[in-house]
Amino acid sequence: MTETETHDLQWTGEARKATKTSEENGKKKAIHHQRRKTKRSKRKEGMAGGEERWCVVTGGRGFAARHLVEMLIRSGKWSVRIADLAPDIKLDPYEEEGLLGEALQSGRAIYVSADLRNKAQVVTACQGAEAVFHMAAPDSSINNYQLHYSVNVAGTKNVIDACIECKVKRLIYTSSPSVVFDGVHGIYNGDESMPYPDKHNDSYSATKAEAEALVIKSNGEGGLLTCCMRPSSIFGPGDKLLVPSLVAAARAGKSKFIIGDGNNMYDFTYVENVAHAHICAEQTLASEGSSAEEAAGKAYFVTNMEPIKFWEFMSLILEGLGYERPRFKIPASVMMPIAYMVEWTYKMLAPYGMRVPQLTPSRIRLLSCNRTFNCTKTKDQLGYTPIVSLKEGLKRTVESYPFLRAEQHTKRSAGTDRPSKASTCLGNGKVADTLLWKDKKHTLTTLLVLGFVYYYFISPGYTMITAVSKILLVMIMLLFVHSILPAKIMGYKFEKIPTSCFNFSEEKTRLIALSMGSTWNTTVGILKSLCRGNDWTLFFKVVCSLLILRFLGGISPHSIFVIGVPFVFIAFYVYERKEEEIDGLFQQALSLALKLKSNALGKFLTPKHSVKH
């Protein structure tokens, strides 16, 4: 279950015209005729030399899976069945004339539409296959437990069952290093002996760990040999997450800051090395000797074996595309309270259209901690070594995104409607349109409702209980009147509110319960740390938080409405209009603060020597 939209490539007008000429059409017909001849000859060779060897790549239209499919085809040893969620395959322009297009024409590759949550479809995809490369997974940035569980866990269980039923010999599962990451403590040179943590960073990591355990446990069942690969931070041409999001941040002015001290080390993996590692694992399991027995039922880390500072890697991509590298360092401890506030705001406003924010506590930890892994076991037991160096991989990656270069953005900036930072911060949804006065009708309606609430419930000085009871009374009256209204009055239709509108779904109830349990466990963990008396930083954080809460709790509802509401509706609007000026002032203030901090530390750390004459 992966993203199947085609990549947005830039083509010149001359190239489009050339493909439409009769000369090119004649060439295409000749090529097509030659391909059909090649297909027939290969089929004859296959019949003479034995049956074709088929393998399946689930999620075959995903980022890393596309590279694996091409590498398998290029090897000449496999016929590839590409399984993915879309009803049919849509090739990018470069794929149509490339290796994949030719393989689909000749029959060396076929496409199968399969939803991993449907076991019958998975069985159909796996029939007659000798090996299965299970790479399908939802977008890791979507923190939806139900989605991840249904695909990563239930879907993987269907793949395992289908492999056993169809007598598939080898199953290679694409896992993740996040299965051993708790979201808090960094990992430096971690190896495969690391256990799963008690609690994972997000639902994606938790379900990937559960699926990996299923794959390892199924090794040997029905003659099936399994192996799990854990590629770290994949990058390369065709990536639709890392580079595009990094460029979007640069264009929004958010890539100038380094979270933490900037020295945290990371392991990245070029996408072709990921594909190569999967093939190494399959070949090892197919060897049927002591190497296969040693590798079967194991998990392996996969990296480029070239650890690099996380922020240096990001800087090399940004500089390669013509953007400035990050230069202002902000301590993670300073960003965490802001991240918690953003996360809380999102939980409150998500039902009203606010999108998932980038600034969250888990993301702050990821950007400021170490994540490096030891690939010695992968090298010794699977024979894996990177085939593309980190430097070459970065070069190829940057060259594959000409349309994301800074100069291209500058040329188009005059004619584009790039969302402002204020709009992006508010989620680019209904909340943003309301607070930024883009939907004036909705803004005025919201202000009228707030004015009504203030005049009838806040201004009289009611207590909180009285105000809430009066609001509920008005709501009940409105709902009662609405329910007895006829379906149509003077030509105007009145749609009835379904009772299901007020019910919590089972999924939502479960998520709320999980959230409450997680909050409770976090609070208990903080209290335990405080009771030990060792963490002074945590103590001061808790004290400051309680003082802030005490201050906010002392503010009356009247003050919140009189000061808060006008501020929210004015501050975001002004910032959107004066974005560059306010950012410039902020950067100047930040530079001055960092300079003062450096001078203060220099004076404090410099030893003073008194000299007597």
Cα distance between residue 442 and residue 162, in whole Å: 52
Cα distance between residue 218 and residue 132, in whole Å: 14
**Cβ partners under 8 Å of residue 323, min gap 6:** 247, 250, 255, 406
Cα distance between residue 345 and residue 157, in whole Å: 37
Helix, strand, or coil (residue 289): coil
**Cβ partners under 8 Å of residue 505, min gap 6:** none
Q: Are strands 488-489 and 492-493 parallel, antiparallel or unpaired?
A: antiparallel
Q: What dihedral angle (degrees, nearest 10) is formed by the CA atoms of 32, 37, 43, 48? A: -160
Cα distance between residue 466 and residue 459, in whole Å: 13
Residue 450, CB-side half-sphere exposure with 13 Å CA sphere: 18
- Give start and end residues of each alpha helix (H) in 485-578: 506-532, 536-553, 557-559, 565-577
**Cβ partners under 8 Å of residue 135, min gap 6:** 2, 57, 58, 59, 60, 62, 64, 65, 68, 174, 278
Cα distance between residue 44 and residue 48, in whole Å: 6
Please list the active-site residues: 208
Q: Which two tokens stand for residue 252?
A: 């929004």
- How do the residues of the chain divide into helix, strand and coil, expressed in percent and rounded to 5? 60, 10, 30
Cα distance between residue 280 and residue 378, in whole Å: 9
- Give start and end residues of each alpha helix (H) in 225-270: 242-251
Contact criterion met (CB below 8 Å) for 374 and 191: yes
DSSP 8-class letter at 478: H
Query: Residue 341: how many CB atoms within 10 A of its CB?
Result: 11
List C-alpha distances in Å: 96 to 63, 93, 117: 17, 5, 30
